[in-house]
């Protein structure tokens, strides 16, 4: 059985895909789940696939995703030119391999590595793979340290807020590391310095600090967490490194919060990841991971591949991977520069904070965050709004074409259900006006209800994984 989405079920009713009679001279039926016996004309095949995909949502009105939904035509040209390049073929495509290395050094520089030429890193399919690699490096370093000291190295744990993206639970599960998830509590919706150190011990391979929680867009206090871990080191001798999951924020903070210290300026930060396909502004899928120096990435994790008769080190889970996204990332860095990224990210933040303020002004909602960290904010219903739920609001917006996810928070705050808006490049103040109009149209009817119509079962935006924590994951 293929891994399937619940919406696939309705497909099952018919074994065949219907082809619009306009496109064929003779009636054509196409089996749905079997490779057809014969061939199809290319125009017909194109039209069949194109028409099926028309029913996907409109990316511009999708306020659920962090992932880039628009790139300029020149970037798309480059991507089409590179569609046939395999990132792993360093020998055949040495220029592509070189652009990847330049991107790594540019990111190392952006994140204030002491010597960007010495920092190591690579592209990945996204932050999920990047986090796996960073987690593996933490685990391996800890094992080496323990074994060198003659201590047992069989019970590693990793400390992080329960608000981590599902990739960290996968990391812990797939690589047998105990996930120490710090629950939320009251108005604390992410990891704090105080809580992080309480969960650490001699078996802690690292602490994950998130620059930009997917639940509410807030930055975790990376500098505070590092300072608390410095004290822990002095008191107990446990030297616990920090990995910063900057899937979104590592491409926001350098441009909008230049003075905020969250990156390699903090000596305890061993590695940083980002999603090139989020605020790096590239189509999916590209991610990046950078280690502060060669010592932060144990050499025994690195493989050497043949490269123009020499050797090229690689560290990756995948083998073949498209080169187009990496080239597009390099294009964006050149095309936009610091100024361009700053202008785009700051515009997103302006739209987010303005929209948050106006949503608060409608009177029906209470802000959880205000868009001043990531250009992302979460809000819930004001206390006296009892006749409807956030899930009803999400459904009412959906009727008008907007995709705004509603979901409950995880452990200790399961009672809190929120809506979340992600402002991406392309979401303008004008679209913000239209969203406010849509809310203003929906509210009188919602406020006229005597009880909520949709409950948390309609939180159709979850990752839908079946681990209990993952059920609370907003999409990203
Ligand atoms: C999106 C996200 C991830 C996963 O990133 P992908 O690029 O989608 O694999 C990990 N961590 C955080 C904080 C995220 O926002």
Q: Are 332 and 282 in contact (CB under 8 A)?
A: yes
Q: Whose CA is nearest to atom 14 of ligand 1?
A: 247
Our CA angle for 101, 105, 108, nearest 5°, is: 140
CA distances (Å), 78 to each of 125, 326, 337, in order? Answer: 18, 11, 18
Taking the CA of residue 211 as reference, the ligand 1 atom at the shortest distance is 13
Evaluate if pTM is beyond 0.85. yes
pLDDT given at position 40: 87
Find the 425 Cα to ligand 1 centroid distance in Å.
17
What string of pLDDT tens digits covers the 476 residues of the chain?
567 666 666 556 788 887 777 776 666 788 889 998 888 889 889 988 998 898 887 787 889 999 999 999 999 999 999 999 988 888 888 899 999 999 999 999 999 999 998 889 999 999 999 999 999 999 999 999 999 999 999 999 999 999 999 999 999 999 999 999 999 999 999 999 999 999 999 999 999 999 999 999 999 999 999 999 999 999 999 999 999 999 999 999 999 999 999 999 999 999 999 999 999 999 999 999 999 999 999 999 998 877 777 787 889 898 889 999 999 999 999 999 999 999 999 999 999 999 999 999 999 999 999 999 999 999 999 999 999 999 999 999 999 999 999 999 999 999 999 999 999 999 999 999 999 999 999 999 999 999 999 887 766 554 333 343 444 455 55
pLDDT given at position 201: 98
pLDDT given at position 469: 44
Taking the CA of residue 129 as reference, the ligand 1 atom at the shortest distance is 9
Find the 185 Cα to ligand 1 centroid distance in Å.
23
Q: Are 274 and 111 in contact (CB under 8 A)?
A: no
CB atoms within 10 A of CB 220: 27
Instruction: Choose the residue to mutate in 135, 214, 244 for probing ligand 1, maximizing ligand atoms within 8 Å of C-beta.
Output: 214
Find the 400 Cα to ligand 1 centroid distance in Å.
28
Taking the CA of residue 287 as reference, the ligand 1 atom at the shortest distance is 7
pLDDT given at position 27: 64
Find the 149 Cα to ligand 1 centroid distance in Å.
35
pLDDT given at position 205: 98
Find the 158 Cα to ligand 1 centroid distance in Å.
18
Please give all residues whose beta carbon lies within 6 A of any atom in ligand 1, as ranges. Answer: 66, 126-128, 131, 165, 167, 210, 212, 214, 245, 247-248, 275, 287, 476
Find the 274 Cα to ligand 1 centroid distance in Å.
8
Taking the CA of residue 213 as reference, the ligand 1 atom at the shortest distance is 13
pLDDT given at position 68: 95
Which one-letter DSSP state was computed for residue 18?
E
Find the 91 Cα to ligand 1 centroid distance in Å.
30
pLDDT given at position 26: 67
pLDDT given at position 466: 37
- DSSP three-state, residue 34: coil
With residue 138 as reference, give the H or E element that holds it. helix 127-148
Find the 303 Cα to ligand 1 centroid distance in Å.
25
Q: Whose CA is nearest to atom 5 of ligand 1?
A: 127
Instruction: Choose the residue to mutate in 126, 246, 469 for probing ligand 1, maximizing ligand atoms within 8 Å of C-beta.
Output: 126
Find the 165 Cα to ligand 1 centroid distance in Å.
6
Instruction: Choose the residue to mutate in 127, 253, 288, 317 for probing ligand 1, maximizing ligand atoms within 8 Å of C-beta.
Output: 127
Taking the CA of residue 284 as reference, the ligand 1 atom at the shortest distance is 7
Find the 273 Cα to ligand 1 centroid distance in Å.
9
46 CA to centre of own chain: 31
Find the 29 Cα to ligand 1 centroid distance in Å.
40
Residue ranges and CATH numbers for the domains of the chain are: 9-56 (no CATH), 75-334 (3.40.640.10), 345-456 (3.90.1150.160)
Q: Alpha-carbon distance 225 to 234, whole Å?
A: 14
DSSP string, 317-375: S-SS-BSHHHHHHHHHHHHHHHHHHHHHHHHHHHHHHHHHHHHHHTSSEEES--SSSSS
Taking the CA of residue 476 as reference, the ligand 1 atom at the shortest distance is 1
pLDDT given at position 462: 46
Instruction: Choose the residue to mutate in 65, 167, 189 for probing ligand 1, maximizing ligand atoms within 8 Å of C-beta.
Output: 167
């Amino acid at each position: 059985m293929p891994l399937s989405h619940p919406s696939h079920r309705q497909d099952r009713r018919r074994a065949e895909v219907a082809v619009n009679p306009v496109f064929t001279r003779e009636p054509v039926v196409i089996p749905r789940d079997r490779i057809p016996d014969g061939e199809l004309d290319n125009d017909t095949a194109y039209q069949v696939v194109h028409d099926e995909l028309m029913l996907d949502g409109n990316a511009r009105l999708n306020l659920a995703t962090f992932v880039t939904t628009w790139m300029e035509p020149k970037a798309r040209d480059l991507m089409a030119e590179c569609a046939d390049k395999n990132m792993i073929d360093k020998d055949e495509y040495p220029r592509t391999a070189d652009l990847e290395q330049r991107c790594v050094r540019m990111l190392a520089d952006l994140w204030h590595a002491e010597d960007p030429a010495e920092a190591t890193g690579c592209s990945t399919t996204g932050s999920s793979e990047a986090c796996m690699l960073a987690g593996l490096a933490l685990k391996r370093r800890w094992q080496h340290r323990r074994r060198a000291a003659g201590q047992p190295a069989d019970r590693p744990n990793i400390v992080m807020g329960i608000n981590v993206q599902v990739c960290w639970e996968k990391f812990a599960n797939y690589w047998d590391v105990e996930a120490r998830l710090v629950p939320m509590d009251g108005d604390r919706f992410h990891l704090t310095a105080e809580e992080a150190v309480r969960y650490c011990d001699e078996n802690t391979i690292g602490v994950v600090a998130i620059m930009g929680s997917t639940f509410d867009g807030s930055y975790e206090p990376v500098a505070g967490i590092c300072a608390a871990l410095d004290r822990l080191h002095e008191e107990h001798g446990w030297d616990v490194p920090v990995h910063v999951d900057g899937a979104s924020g590592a491409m926001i903070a350098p441009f909008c919060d230049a003075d905020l210290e969250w990156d390699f300026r903090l000596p305890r930060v061993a590695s940083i990841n980002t999603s090139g396909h989020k605020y790096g502004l590239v189509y999916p899928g590209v991610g990046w991971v950078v280690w502060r120096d060669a010592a932060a990435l144990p050499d025994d994790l690195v493989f050497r591949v043949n490269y123009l008769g020499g050797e090229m080190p690689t560290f990756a889970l995948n083998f073949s991977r498209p080169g187009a996204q990496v080239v597009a990332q390099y294009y964006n860095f050149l095309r936009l520069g610091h100024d361009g990224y700053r202008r785009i990210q700051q515009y997103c933040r302006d739209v987010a904070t303005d929209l948050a303020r106006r949503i608060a002004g409608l009177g029906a909602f209470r802000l959880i965050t205000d868009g001043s960290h990531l250009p992302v904010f979460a809000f819930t219903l004001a206390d006296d709004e009892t006749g409807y739920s956030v899930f009803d609001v999400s459904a009412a917006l959906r009727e008008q074409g907007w995709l705004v996810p509603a979901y409950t928070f995880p452990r200790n705050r399961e009672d809190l259900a929120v809506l979340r808006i992600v402002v991406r490049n392309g979401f303008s103040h004008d679209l913000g006006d239209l969203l406010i109009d849509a809310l203003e149209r929906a509210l009188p009817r919602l406020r006229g209800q005597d009880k909520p119509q949709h409950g948390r079962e309609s939180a159709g935006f979850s990752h839908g994984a079946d681990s209990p924590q993952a059920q609370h994951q907003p999409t990203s």
